[in-house]
Amino acid sequence: MELLVASAVGMMTTVGVYLILQQRTFPIIVGLTLLSYAVNVFLFSAGRLVVDRPPIISDADAYTDPLPQALVLTAIVISFGMTALIVVLALRGFLETENDTADLPGEDLAPETEADK
């Protein structure tokens, strides 16, 4: 079970970082969302991967830690607000520039060489 969760966190992090490095705004937004999901799954798995156990300490070996569950619940709300703000900013940038790239206007992607002059 732990290997599956660790693999899921690793894959979501990898895909999220790859999408953040893209040039368009929509993949960047999706990449940030995937990174927040990866952090949420990581925090949730930090509270032990125990099935059908109450979040109450009745004995030391048979409980699920409730603190990571509360942190994940808070992180979900924060990431939803962050995603909504980023979508609005990207939409505003698209409506003003009629372009959805994340680079600065007039910025070259490759450095200018002596042969280009």
CA distance to 22, 67, 71, per residue, from 55 (Å): 41, 9, 14
* Rounded distance between C-alpha atoms, residue 12 and residue 30, angstroms: 11
| Mean pLDDT by groups of 10 residues along the chain of 117 residues | 88 95 91 93 77 64 73 90 93 87 66 63
Contacts 24+ apart (CB under 8 A), 9-18: 9/38, 9/41, 9/42, 9/45, 12/37, 12/38, 12/41, 13/38
Encode pLDDT of 8-31 as tens digits: 999 999 999 999 998 888 999 999
In the chain, beta strands by DSSP E = none
Q: What is the pLDDT of residue 32?
A: 93
Q: Could you tell me the residue ranges of all domains in the chain?
A: 2-97
Q: What is the pLDDT of residue 99?
A: 83
User: Does the predicted TM-score (pTM) go above 0.95?
Assistant: no
Q: What is the pLDDT of residue 55?
A: 61
